[in-house]
Amino acid sequence: MKINVNKPYLPSKDKYYQYINRIWENNHLTNFGPLSIELEQRLRDYLGVNNILLVSNGTLALQIAYKVLNIKNEVITSPFSFVATTSTLVWDCIQPRFCDIDQDSFCIDVNKIETLISNNTSAILPVHTFGNICNIEELENITAKHNIKLIFDAAHAFGVKYNNKSAFCYGDISTISFHATKLFHSVEGGALVFKDDNHLEYAKSIINFGLKNNIPEFVGINAKNSEFHAAMGLCVLDDISYIMEERERIWEYYYDNLKDDFKMQKLNKNATNNYHYFPILFETESKLLRYLDIFHKNEIFPRRYFYPSLEKMPYISIDDDCKVSQSIASRILCLPIYVGLDRVSQDLIIKILRTKE
**pLDDT confidence tier of residue 221, bands split at 50, 70 and 90:** very high
User: E-assigned strands of the chain?
Assistant: 3-4, 52-55, 74-77, 95-98, 121-125, 149-153, 161-162, 165-166, 173-177, 190-194, 211-212, 215-216, 279-281, 300-301, 332-334
* Measured distance CA(135)–CA(99) in Å, rounded: 14
* pLDDT, mean of residues 317-329: 95
Domains of the chain (ranges, CATH numbers):
13-99+106-238 (3.40.640.10), 240-354 (3.90.1150.10)
Strands (E), 229-335: 279-281, 300-301, 332-334
Asked if 327 and 283 touch (Cβ cutoff 8 Å), the reply is no
Q: What is the pLDDT of residue 356?
A: 74
CA nearest to 101, candidates 304, 256, 281, 325: 325
**Each residue's pLDDT tens digit, 330-343:** 999 999 999 999 99
Phi/psi of residue 331, nearest 5 degrees: -120, 0
pLDDT of residue 301: 98
Round to whole Å and give the CA distance between 5 and 114: 36
Q: Please, which residues bridge with residue 222 across strands? A: 208
Least confident of 58-62, 231-235, 315-319, 343-347: 315-319
Round to whole Å and give the CA distance between 137 and 118.
21
Angle at which helix 343-354 crosses helix 285-297, to 10 degrees, equals 140
- Is the pLDDT confidence value at 253 over 80? yes
What is the pLDDT confidence band of residue 1, given thresholds at 50, 70 and 90?
A: confident
Q: Tell me the average pLDDT across 262-291.
A: 98
Give dist(CA 296, CA 294) in Å, integer. Answer: 5
152 vs 165: CA distance, rounded Å: 15
Residue 65 predicted with pLDDT over 80: yes
> Mean pLDDT across the chain, nearest whole number?
97
pLDDT value at 355 more than 90: no
Chain length of the chain? 357
**pLDDT score of 161 more than 80:** yes
**pLDDT score for 357:** 63
Q: Which pLDDT value is given to residue 115? A: 96
Q: What is the arithmetic mean of pLDDT over 223-229?
A: 97
Asked whether 54 and 230 are in contact (CB, 8 A), the reply is: yes
Those residues whose C-beta lies under 8 Å from the C-beta of residue 160, and which sit 6 or more positions away, are 128, 131, 133, 166, 167, 271, 272, 273, 274
**pLDDT on residue 213:** 84
Q: What is the pLDDT of residues 116-158, one digit of tens each?
A: 999 999 999 999 999 999 999 999 999 999 999 999 999 999 9
Q: What is the mean pLDDT of residues 196-204?
A: 95
- For the segment 291-301, the average pLDDT, to the nearest whole number, is 97
pTM (predicted TM-score): 0.96
Q: What is the DSSP letter of 270?
A: T
